[in-house]
């Protein structure tokens, strides 16, 4: 496992995992005395969080309120322009 993807550690006979996402640390029991299970759980959790972070960054967000306000302002400016244009 590459450095920086979290760590596993033992408390008594049970393995635990620890990893951080966006500066926040998460800890979770692997509920097993088998180190391999803890490593698999850590890999799974880091993949899940990485996918969530990528989805949040890559997903375009529609803002219908902004679009509606922008259209309203555009129409106001167009009307004002027409009034000024008609004067000359």
Span 12-67, pLDDT tens digits: 999 999 999 878 899 999 999 999 999 999 999 999 988 887 777 666 667 778 88
pTM over 0.75: no
Cβ-Cβ contacts under 8 Å for 6 (sequence gap 6 or more) = 17, 18, 19, 20, 42, 45, 46
Closest C-alpha among 36, 20, 38, 18 to residue 28: 18
Q: For 21-25, which contacts have Cβ atoms below 8 Å and span 24 or more sequence positions? A: 21/49, 21/53, 22/53
CB 41 within 8 A of CB 1: no
Q: Is 37 exposed, middle or buried (0-12, 13-18, 19+ CB in 10 A)?
A: middle
- The predicted pLDDT at position 82 comes to 86
**Mean pLDDT to the nearest integer, 70-82:** 90
- pLDDT bin (cut points 50, 70, 90) of residue 84 is confident
């Amino acid at each position: 496992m590459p450095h920086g993807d979290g760590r596993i550690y033992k408390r008594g006979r049970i393995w635990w995992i620890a990893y951080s996402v966006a500066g926040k640390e998460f800890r979770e029991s692997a509920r097993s005395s088998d180190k391999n299970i803890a490593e698999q759980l850590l890999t799974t959790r880091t993949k899940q969080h990485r996918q969530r972070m990528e989805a949040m960054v890559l997903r375009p967000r529609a803002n219908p309120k902004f679009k509606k306000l922008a259209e309203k302002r555009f129409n106001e400016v167009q009307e004002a322009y027409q009034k000024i244009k008609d004067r000359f």
